[in-house]
Amino acid sequence: MQKLIALSFMFFRSYNQRFHKAEQTGTTFSWNNLFFPFY
């Protein structure tokens, strides 16, 4: 259970970083960023 929480936290943190980065640069969001935040 602890691992799952940590994994989801990492996922959302990287997701948020990419989202803000896309907002700053004005680029559109791709499905790859949405589903594969670690790639």
Is 39's pLDDT higher than 50?
A: no
pLDDT at 21 > cutoff 60: yes
What domain count does the chain have?
Answer: 1
Residue 38 lies in a domain: no
Identify whether the C-beta of residue 15 lies closer than 8 Å to the C-beta of residue 32.
no
Mean pLDDT of the chain: 69
16 neighbors 23 (Cβ within 8 angstroms): no
Q: Give a yes or no: residue 7 inside a domain.
A: yes
pTM of the model: 0.39
Q: What is the arithmetic mean of pLDDT over 18-24?
A: 65
Instruction: Give the end-to-end CA distance of the chain in Å, rounded to a whole number.
Output: 24
Which of 30, 39, 33, 2 is closest to 16 using CA atoms? Answer: 33
Its domain, for residue 15, covers 1-33
Classify residue 39: in a domain, yes or no.
no
Mean pLDDT of 9-34: 67
With contact defined as beta carbons under 8 Å apart, do 38 and 12 qualify? no
